[in-house]
Chain A
Amino acid sequence: MSTVTTIKEKMDLLAAKADQLAPVRQAALKAFNNFGLPAPKHEEWKYTRIGNVFNLPLQWAPDQVDAVTAEDLKPFLLPGHEEANVLVFVNGVYASALSVIRSASIECMSLEAAMDSGYAELVAANLGHSGKYLTDGINALSTASLRGGVFLTVKRSKDAEHPLFVYNITDARQVNMLSQPRVLLHLAENAGLQMMETYGTIGSQESFTNQVMEVVVEKDARFEYYKIQNDAAHASQVSTTHIRQTGKSFVHAVTISLNGAIVRNNLNLVMEAEYCDSHMYGLYCMQGKSHIDNHTIVDNVMPHCESNEFYKGIMGDASTGVFNGKIFVRQDAQKTNAFQSNKNVLISDDASVNTKPQLEIFADDVKCSHGCTIGRLDEDGIFYLRSRGIPDQVAKSLLLHSFAMDILEQIKPEPLRNYVDRLVSERLAYEME
């Protein structure tokens, strides 16, 4: 039986379950049946053949009690782990035994429980909101599969005193595994949260992570978000982060992609209030046959918002990259200030990047700029460094590191910045060998 058929059977079972999430699942299942998996002719999936991942027999086992231990987790831990709030998903399911919430200001519960809580209205309004922007079978698949997901809220006027670390772990020791972690995160008025997340595949079987995180950022809240993707070369993922700014708020998102088979990111910023201030940074540094695809959407709904988007890529070996940056400025969104830039360096003849800005502007008094470049390392720079005694290979990796620097600098917590810097430096030294 094909992967899609077995998954569908499970989704049918889930949809029939009479729990609080059933209506959401049922609607998404309809959408999934309607969309199917994205075909290459799908405009948003032209260069990212995600359907191929499903050619394997993938197991999706959301009810499986899992064998992942704290010991197994160790290789994936990010610096500062001991002090942090920790959420662990194993094969897409919240693993309470491995997770801990230390901050009194953070409340954490299953999505099912949230539907029964005082947050029911909030959850109903936001769970699946990303589907309004991502009309494809992959997003629908996640929502149709809702199981083991988590609702988190950071309370009003509280800065979470500890950051939140999220680990998305896939156990691929026995079988090819499909993981679908799901989070709905809410930052109440004037709340602040620093969050970092990463992905880890255990074992040598294939893994595919279809993650959706939906975030609601209310008035005066501050959300700082770091996504570190350095999973195994045989692990693929579609990682969706959909952020609604429902009040004047601040978002700072940094996406660092270093490894994976197919890595597709959807980062959406929906600015629904005036005077929102948002920053999206990305650095991808790929090798082998890795494929990285960053799709971003900035939707300016209200006036006076500012967004700043800056992605950089270093592509080695036969790696391939996609950058697609959409900026919508709606009719009411006067005085929008939107900046976008994507710069790429190819360090191999076999590497390639497709980059495409897409601006749709319906207001007349706005400032939008965008630019993209795909180039090689600057020969003048290489010669300059070599003329000071720096060997060719060292000069090149130093220049690449310098190129990455302004994105690395956007990682505000120093231990995390140093950690990522080390990974990037090692990668670049390796690339140049």
Chain B
Amino acid sequence: MLSIKNLQAGIEGKDILKGINLDIKPGEVHAIMGPNGSGKSTLASVLAGRQDYEVTGGSVEFNGKDLLEFSPEQRAGEGLFLAFQYPVEIPGLSTVNFMKTAVNEVRKYRGEEPLDAVAFLKLMKEKMALVNISKELLTRSLNEGFSGGEKKRNEVFQMAMLEPKLAILDETDSGLDIDAIRIAAHGVNAIRTKDNAVLVITHYQRLLDYIVPDFVHVLYNGRIVKSGTKELALELEETGYDQIKSDYQFA
């Protein structure tokens, strides 16, 4: 589904990603961990098409297509979703209106008829129940004055609405209380099928208790320096990154 080969990217002449290789197959869950500033969000942003970052080398294939050729909105149309580490506040735009536009633009991209008001409401109700989010929150200005946890929950709601093929969750668990993590994970698991995949960026094992990864990768200094199965996450929780840092800082 996703095949990243030797991806290099940076900003304003500063190299951040220094050759990432990663393969994700349908149905899989991958987790990326790694110290602060190692490039996790940069990788997520480059995949979602943020133009501030310059891709200086490598390639990304998404369902057989060259992902890097697409605009951000085309990538969403192709089935990519990024839950932001820092969701943006948009005063004056409600989540409901935002999603109405987004869902129908994505449908248009895929050559599907737009949802009418009734069908949209039905879809929304279903997804609201799934992630346990209130109508009140969804009619307020997008993320404005939301608590940290509410913002993250709203990201999961948006993901559920758009039913992506590949969902990238950038620290969706930070700021969530214990119950909310469980609900968010439930939302992610509920939309999982054998055809779609999830890439979870996290610092903590807790989320991975609920969204169980098939593979865990450690990103350090712009490279994936270690990969393993779910046990690797547990191991890191025990030992921290000291060993990895000392092994790889001159790599």
Residues of A within 8 A of B (CB): 378-381, 383-392, 394-395, 398-399, 401-406
In the complex, how many residue pairs between chain A and chain B have their CB atoms under 8 Å apart? Answer: 83
Instruction: Let me know if B158 and A406 touch, CB within 8 A.
Output: no
**In angstroms, how far is the closest chain A Cβ from the Cβ of B151?**
12
7 contacts between A and B (CB under 8 A): A379-B52, A384-B84, A387-B84, A390-B101, A391-B105, A392-B73, A402-B93
B248 within 8 A of A: no
Q: Nearest Cβ distance between residue B12 and chain A, in whole angstroms?
A: 14
Report A-chain residues with C-beta under 8 Å of the C-beta of B88: 378, 380-381, 383-384
Task: Write the chain A residue with the least CB distance to B79.
Answer: A389
How many residues of chain B are within 8 Å of chain A by beta carbon? 31
Check A386/B73 contact, CB under 8 A, given A394-B101, A398-B101: yes
Closest to B87 in A: A384
Distance to closest chain B CB from A293 (angstroms): 25
B90 touches A389 (CB 8 A): no
Counting from the closest, the 4 A-B pairs by CB-CB distance are A405-B92, A402-B92, A389-B76, A389-B106
Residues of B within 8 A of A395 (CB): 73
Residue among A383, A388, A405 making CB contact with B162, cutoff 8 Å = A388
> B16 an interface residue at 8 Å Cβ cutoff?
no
- How far apart sit A398 and B52, CA to CA, in the bound complex (Å)? 22
Is B71 located at the chain interface by the 8 A CB criterion? Answer: yes
User: CA A415 – CA B90 in complex, angstroms?
Assistant: 26
Q: Which residues of A contact B216 (CB under 8 A)?
A: none
Interface of A: prevailing SS: helix
- Cβ-defined contact, A394 with B92, below 8 A: no
CB pair A388–B158 under 8 Å, yes or no, is: yes
Partner of B109, one of A381, A387, A389, A405: A389
Q: Closest CB of chain A to B103's CB: distance in Å?
A: 8
Query: Which residues of chain B have C-beta atoms less than 8 A from A383's C-beta?
Result: 48, 50-51, 72, 88
B92 in contact with A388 (CB, 8 Å): no
CB nearest to B101 among chain A residues = A390
Contact across chains for B71 and A386 when beta carbons are under 8 A apart = yes
CB neighbours (8 Å) of B49 from chain A are 386-387
CB distance from A405 to the nearest CB of B (A): 3
Say whether B92 contacts A389, CB under 8 Å.
no
* Least CB distance, B171 to chain A, in whole angstroms: 16
Instruction: List, in ascending order, chain B residues with CB within 8 A of A380's CB.
Output: 88
Beyond A391-B73, A391-B105, A392-B71, is A401–B48 a contact (Cβ under 8 Å)?
Answer: no
User: Is B128 on the interface with A (CB-CB < 8 A)?
Assistant: no
B residues within 8 A CB of A387?
A: 48-49, 72-73, 75-76, 81-82, 84
- Within B25-61, the residues touching A (CB, 8 Å) are 48-52
Q: Which residues of A contact B92 (CB under 8 A)?
A: 401-406
Residue of A nearest to B106 (CB): A389
Residues of the B chain whose Cβ atoms lie less than 8 Å from the Cβ of A388:
73, 76, 81, 98-99, 102, 105-106, 158, 162
In Å, the complex CA distance between A387 and B74 comes to 8
Among A379, A384, A394, A406, which residue has its beta carbon within 8 angstroms of that of B105? A394
Measured in the bound complex, the distance between the Cα atoms of B99 and A388 in whole Å is 8
Query: What's the nearest-Cβ distance from chain A to residue B165, in Å?
Result: 13
Residues of A within 8 A of B51 (CB): 383
Question: Is the C-beta of B240 less than 8 angstroms from some C-beta in chain A?
Answer: no
Assuming A392-B71, A398-B93, A402-B93, is B106 touching A385 (CB within 8 A)?
no
Least CB distance from B133 to A in Å reads: 16
| B-side contacts of A379, CB under 8 Å | 52
Known: A383-B51, A389-B102, A398-B101. 5 other contacts (CB 8 A): A381-B88, A387-B84, A388-B106, A389-B73, A406-B92
Closest to B99 in A: A388
Indicate if B91 sits at the interface (CB-CB under 8 A).
yes
Given contacts A381-B90, A402-B91, A405-B93, contact A389 B71 (CB under 8 A): no
| Residue with the greatest number of chain B CB neighbours at <10 A, chosen from A385, A387, A394, A403 | A387
In the complex, the chain B residue whose C-beta lies closest to that of A379 is B52
Please indicate the chain B residues that have their CB under 8 angstroms from the CB of A398 in the complex.
93, 98, 101
Hey, which chain B residues are within 8 Å of A394, CB to CB? 101, 105
